[in-house]
């Protein structure tokens, strides 16, 4: 399975004060995703909105989409549409437009809150 994660959507699914330290929240999520990838053997990629910075997570592909509003959503949709259907991809997002585009390209979609609970279960 390949997970393609809308990073800010997953971060935003838990109101834990992440907005006070956006980069710190991105680093924490990237590390959690690395643990998840190691535990499951799945391929995990996360795309964040904003300027690139080091997240210190190995075993997970971390990228940043700089540009207009929803740049990460557009980047995720571009990747899914370029890959095509039936490739064992699941897009993680609660964004309705991105979910619709992903499903139209033939991929599965899991909501950010559901995936957040999956991550919490893999860490403990």
107-116 burial, b at 16+ Cβ within 10 Å, e below that, comes to: bebbbbeebb
Give the pLDDT of residue 85.
Answer: 65
Q: What is the mean pLDDT of the chain?
A: 92
83 pLDDT band, cuts 50/70/90, is confident
Question: What global pTM score does this model have?
Answer: 0.92
Question: What is the fold of 2-121?
Answer: Rossmann fold (3.40.50)
Q: Average the pLDDT over 28-54 and give the result.
A: 95
Residues for the chain: how many in total?
Answer: 124
Please count the other Cβ atoms lying within 10 Å of the Cβ belonging to residue 57. Answer: 21
CA-based radius of gyration for the chain? 13
Domain locations along the chain:
2-121
**Residue where the block lists tokens 């980047």:** 75
Alpha-helical segments (H) within the chain: 7-12, 22-40, 71-83, 96-104, 112-122
Spatial separation of the C-alpha atoms in residues 71 and 77, rounded to whole Å = 10
2-14 residue pLDDT tens: 999 999 999 999 9
Spatial separation of the C-alpha atoms in residues 57 and 66, rounded to whole Å = 20
């Amino acid at each position: 399975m390949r997970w393609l994660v809308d990073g800010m959507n997953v971060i935003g699914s838990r109101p834990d004060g992440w907005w006070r330290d956006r980069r710190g929240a991105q680093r924490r999520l990237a590390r959690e995703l690395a643990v998840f990838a190691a535990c499951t053997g799945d391929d995990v990629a996360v795309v964040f909105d904003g300027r690139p910075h080091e997240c210190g997570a190995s075993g997970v592909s971390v990228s940043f989409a700089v540009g207009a509003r929803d740049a990460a959503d557009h980047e995720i949709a571009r990747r899914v549409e370029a890959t095509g259907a039936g490739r064992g991809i699941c897009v993680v997002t609660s964004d309705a437009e991105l979910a619709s585009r992903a499903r139209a390209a033939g991929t599965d979609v899991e909501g950010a809150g559901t995936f957040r609970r999956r991550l919490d279960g893999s860490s403990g």
